Amino acid sequence: MHKHHSALGLATALRPVQPVTLLRPHAAARAARFFVEKFPGRPLYAVKANPSPDLLPILWENGVTHYDVASIAEVRLVRSILPESTLCFMHPVKAFEAIEEAYFEHGVRTFSLDSIEELDKIVAATKGAEDLTLCVRMRVSSDHSKLSLASKFGVELTEAKELLQRTRQAADALGICFHVGSQAMSPQAYVQAMDKVRAAIVQAAVTVDVIDVGGGFPSIYPDMEPPAMEAYFHAIHKAFESLPVSYSSELWCEPGRALCAEYASLLVRVERRRGDELYINDGAYGALFDAAHVGWRFPVKLLREPESDVRDIGFSFYGPTCDDMDRMAGPFNLPADVQPGDYIEIGMLGAYGCAMRTGFNGFTAGERVEMDDEPMATMYVIDDEPATAVPSNVITL
């Protein structure tokens, strides 16, 4: 893999024809250390956010030892790269064969569930194993989050009592988990969810060994600047301390976006301009799925030397395929004099962008280049790093 000092330098020197994924290992390492050092419990990396074989060892080397896997393919991947890691199979609906292989071949001992049927399946697939950590997933509100995860999975509070009691009988350790939705913009999301967890524990009168607050930890995007990450950690810790659980109970979380969003960005070339529409060489079937299908606005920057001094206007993007759906509405604010041949960096694409690429129409990922410069925004400053580690033009919270 090539290395380069900056996105602007790369665009100017190489003038790449294909899109280039810009990787910043130091940003992922910084995010991992932040969670390991400051979260008041154990972080599990949600592999689905970015399963890159290059990223996983970076997280491991910076203290992330537990991984939230959602499929048998993710189990195999992480086990092959990080053989000493602890894997937690946190998809609430799994194939019998996937559970069986995970338990007997890959040493997985933690599974999530949200129904009696799934509990029975786990018990049968593991042949009545007595060393299981079973996490009952509760349905909680996604009102404070930009993307809801409140409809597909999770047992309702009114139905949780029997499931928790049955699971307690089958489990060596009983956990309760939930997911407040992606990009939670307020710590209150976790406080409200913990209130529901408290009610469930009281109703079921069970001993709980693990509280897993799931993912949803935010990154920075245009018009989405969340509170400092420490505010989330403080609110979670305070709510956890008030739960009716034993002193030995563990607190877990499952950051995905928060650990990998800053890891990667995308360098694209403008192929055509039509008014306020720019045709670029990556799109909805590449790294920009979320920009097209859920209207996500990623930060953008025109890479030109000398810099443009023209005012910004809002642009929409078309990707390279023949499909009209390959459109990113934006608006993406760029200097009004953008023209064909210009290069644009699209930031914060380490989460989901890298994971959701397809080869539709023959347009595939281009080269990957390791960068020395900072991501377009960061949530993290580590206490023992000098202030100069984050340049003044980088947004920090």
Mean pLDDT of 370-390: 72
Last residue of a domain, one of 225, 253, 281: 253
Quote the pLDDT of residue 366.
80
Last residue of a domain, one of 253, 270, 290: 253
Mean pLDDT of 355-384: 84
Amino acid at 293: H
Residue 61 lies inside a defined structural domain of this protein? no
Same domain, 116 and 234: yes
Quote the pLDDT of residue 105.
97
Out of 135, 253, 260, 322, which one is annotated catalytic? 322
Whether 174 has a pLDDT exceeding 80, the answer reads: yes
Distance CA(30)–CA(40), nearest Å, equals 17
Last residue of a domain, one of 191, 222, 253: 253
Q: What is the pLDDT of residues 258-296, one digit of tens each?
A: 999 999 999 999 999 999 999 999 999 999 999 999 899
pLDDT band at 360 (very low <50, low <70, confident <90, very high): confident
**Domain residues for 176?**
91-253
pLDDT band at 386 (very low <50, low <70, confident <90, very high): very low
Same domain, 221 and 296: no
Mean pLDDT of 192-207: 96
| C-alpha pair distances (Å), 209 with each of 103, 132, 391 | 20, 12, 43
Same domain, 301 and 240: no
Whether 374 has a pLDDT exceeding 60, the answer reads: yes
% the chain with pLDDT above 90? 80
CATH of the domain at 134: 3.20.20.10
Whether 322 is a known active-site residue: answer yes
Residue 196 lies inside a defined structural domain of this protein? yes
Listed residue (90, 117, 110, 52) closest to 259, CA to CA: 52
Same domain, 278 and 205: no
Number of independent structural domains in the chain: 2
Residue 46 lies inside a defined structural domain of this protein? no
Q: Is the pTM of this model over 0.95?
A: no
pLDDT band at 20 (very low <50, low <70, confident <90, very high): very high
